[in-house]
Amino acid sequence: MSSLMDTPEAVQDSYTRRMEPETRNDIQKWRERLDDARADRRRKEPTWQQNAAFAGGKQWLEYIGRTERKLVLPKLPEGRERQTVDAISQYIWTAIGELMADEFLLELLFRKNDVVTEALADQINAAYSWGWDNEWNGERAVQQLLQQLVAGTGTAAIVNRFDPTRGEFLASVPHINGQPIFDPAEQRNVVAQAQAAGQTIEFKDVKRGRIEWDVLSGWNLLAPPGISDPEKFPWEATVSAMHIEEAQAIWPAARNIEVDTQMTGLDLLGAQEAGNFVNPEHPERQTRQMREHILVWHCYDRPCGKYPSGRVMVLGGAGQKLLAEPTMELPIKGPMGEYRSGINYFQYWTVPDQFWGRALVEAGLGIQRILNKRRTQVSEIIDRGLPKIFAEEDSLTKVPEGRPLELIYYQQGKSPPQSDGGISPGSWMYEDMNVLLGDMQRAMGIRDVSLGENPVGVKTYSQLALLHENDQTKVRPVISRIRESMARATENTLYQIRQYWGPDKQLMIAGEGHILQASTFNASRIPDFFQVRIPRGAGSPRSGAAELTKIDQLWNASLSIGQPLPITWLSESIEAGKALAIPKQVAIEQIEKAQWENILMIRGEQVPVAYYDPIQIHIEQHRQAQIQAELSKRMDIVALIEQHVQEHIRVQTLNELQAMQAQGAPVPEGQIAELEDQGATSPGAGPGGSSAPASAALINDQLSREPMPPADPLNPENLE
């Protein structure tokens, strides 16, 4: 192995001399593979160009002929103007918003179930969440990914990569198979084993490094032709554009690499054919040249008989030169110990027997073209069908200016001018445009409720939620596939955390009260085996109309059950644009009070009834406790609860009669006094109260029975 004292030129010369014939043959084999993959990919590239153009507002583009792969803005006859009705953009951003509302920061699960493992699991999840926000920027990566799936190539990937050129400098650390060893204990073991075997370990001055999530579009991906399932790929490859200086900092062999002079691109790095768009009205605005860049090809052999751990080869520059010695091991290990390349594929709409999927925007391209055409035709009919005046030549003294009620003078003896009211677009034209907009909804799978519009005739939140759920039925398979690929990316990232973060990773994690707490995370303690929890279920409608409908439904429901919400809740919810948390109601407090009374009665205590206790809430809770006592054969408790229930009935009847008397309504003579007398003689009764006479026989009969030993659920000692 070379030492750090060697110059890049010496490294490259030594490496070139030692290149075995088998390696040269493998390089040629990879060049052939990449050529075949690019030829297979070209079938999709015209569609990708259209997707990007239409999403960018260029919705009049068309291809020249059958063979030329150039998008052209067609010329219009003189005097005609293009009209664009950009209906497709709202579907693009609605779909991205719906997908972004899902949760892609997944939870990590570990095998053991003890206090130590649970605490470690919390630490690992907190550390992963920190990395999601501060290192690989998960939210930004997900947004870029969804833009490609919805409005780009329809097939994209997230590549888990460790960038050794980022972060602070560290001391020299040993390297095994090109990978740095950060754990001090593992470093000592590696050095000791090498010394015992008489070998030399390579030490390098390295930076701390940084875990990256690279989002690649279909332009950057190459797949074996004829294989639709990525799990069955024998090999895979990515291509990306890199500045020559950055490449030379990573691979010394790139010092003499020639720059790709013909590289062009239109926001699509890594494809020489990208940005093939010509505007005949502005020929100077051609594709942008990407100077001082090279194409870098990362080539991965999946594990096989020849390469049990896989293999990585990096080619770059004109002629696809080898930039580094092949690595005889793929960079990622999964939870089961399987070797992975770190490429995680995502698709929006899958196509049977094809690897390349379809983007959402593809379904609306044709409709958008026709919509623009119809709108242009309507505009031209309006312009060309304006009112006109027909007059004989030289009959007018001046040309009319077109003002309302304008006086027009014509020469005496000439025929007077004749006016024509012109024509206007028929209603069928506007109906045709409405039909096109309806077709757009069906083609894209997104209806009014997802666009934030309240459908006609839908007035309840439950109806909106049902329509929204039905709308998401078409998106649910997409979300499910994205979650599965995101789980794989999470597994790969956790391996990189364990591999590269080391035992002293400094984190700043939000603690209680939203206060940042500094902590040191030991990544070497992460277990080898773990699982990723994928959330399930569909989301609810989140549009403004849906939230206002939800507020209205909650307010009306509170009125219908006689427990109106505070008017301040309604005002603040409308101002916030969403339903705020429901304030704690008196009913909840009364439920808790009734449940506590049940506990006291199970202990054998008599509980008084207050005049303000709502009878419906209390009796419902008491009956539940009474049923449990009956099933436990505690008839003494059944009788005690029955006495309390009858006391509620007496107090409620007394309250109603007193209210009638206060309003001047006729009340049976002596009934109020009788109820008050019953309450005065009732043991443990509340204001006004004993139990009703009808319950006396039942109580005496139940209390005369021999009480059964209390069952565990009703043991008062267990309830303290």
The string of pLDDT tens digits covering residues 81-125 is 788 888 888 888 888 887 877 778 887 777 665 555 667 777 888
> Cα separation of 298 and 476, whole Å?
33
Q: Which residue has the tokens 């999470």?
A: 490
- Using N-to-C axis directions, what is the helix angle for 88-100 and 427-444, rounded to 10°? 30
Q: Bridge-partner residues for 203, per DSSP?
A: 174
The 10 Å CB-count burial string (b at 16+, else e) for 432-441 is: ebeebeebbb
The first and second tokens of residue 348, run together, are 């929006």
Highest mean pLDDT among 88-97, 270-279, 397-406: 88-97
- Using N-to-C axis directions, what is the helix angle for 88-100 and 138-151, rounded to 10°? 140
More confident residue, 270 or 180: 180
pLDDT at residue 713, rounded to an integer: 44
- Kindly tell me the number of DSSP H helices and DSSP E strands found in the chain: 20, 24
Q: Are 340 and 492 in contact (CB under 8 A)?
A: yes
For residue 711, pLDDT over 60 is answered with no
State the alpha helices, DSSP H only, in 474-585.
476-500, 544-560, 567-576
H/E run at residue 108 = strand 107-110
Residue 680, C-beta contacts closer than 8 angstroms, at least 6 positions apart: 688, 689, 690
Highest mean pLDDT among 210-219, 440-449, 567-576: 210-219
pLDDT at residue 418, rounded to an integer: 78
Q: Are 32 and 235 in contact (CB under 8 A)?
A: no
pTM for the structure as a whole: 0.64
Annotate 630-654 with DSSP letters as a single string: HHTT-HHHHHHHHHHHHHHHHHHHH
Residue 464, C-beta contacts closer than 8 angstroms, at least 6 positions apart: 449, 454, 458, 541, 545, 546, 549, 550
pLDDT at residue 11, rounded to an integer: 43
Eight-class DSSP state of 585: P
Share of the chain above pLDDT 70, in %: 74
> Cα separation of 93 and 610, whole Å?
58
Least reliable range by pLDDT among 169-183, 478-492, 605-619: 169-183
> Cα separation of 27 and 19, whole Å?
11
Q: Are 476 and 548 in contact (CB under 8 A)?
A: no
> Cα separation of 115 and 639, whole Å?
46
Q: Are 82 and 376 in contact (CB under 8 A)?
A: yes
H/E run at residue 169 = strand 169-176
Q: Are 710 and 634 in contact (CB under 8 A)?
A: yes
Residue type, 450: S
> Cα separation of 321 and 507, whole Å?
40
DSSP strand pairing (210-216 vs 343-347): unpaired
pLDDT at residue 4, rounded to an integer: 33
Q: What sign does the dihedral 505-509-511-513 (CA atoms) show?
A: positive
> Cα separation of 331 and 340, whole Å?
7
Q: Are 87 and 437 in contact (CB under 8 A)?
A: yes
Q: Bridge-partner residues for 155, per DSSP?
A: 347
Which pLDDT tens digit goes with each residue over 259-274?
A: 766 665 543 333 333 3
H/E run at residue 177 = none
Q: Which of 167, 92, 612, 147 is nearest to 346 (CA)?
A: 147
Mean pLDDT, the chain, rounded, equals 76
For range 298-308, the mean pLDDT: 93
> Cα separation of 555 and 565, whole Å?
7
What's the farthest any 2 CA atoms get from each other in the chain? 128
pLDDT at residue 397, rounded to an integer: 75
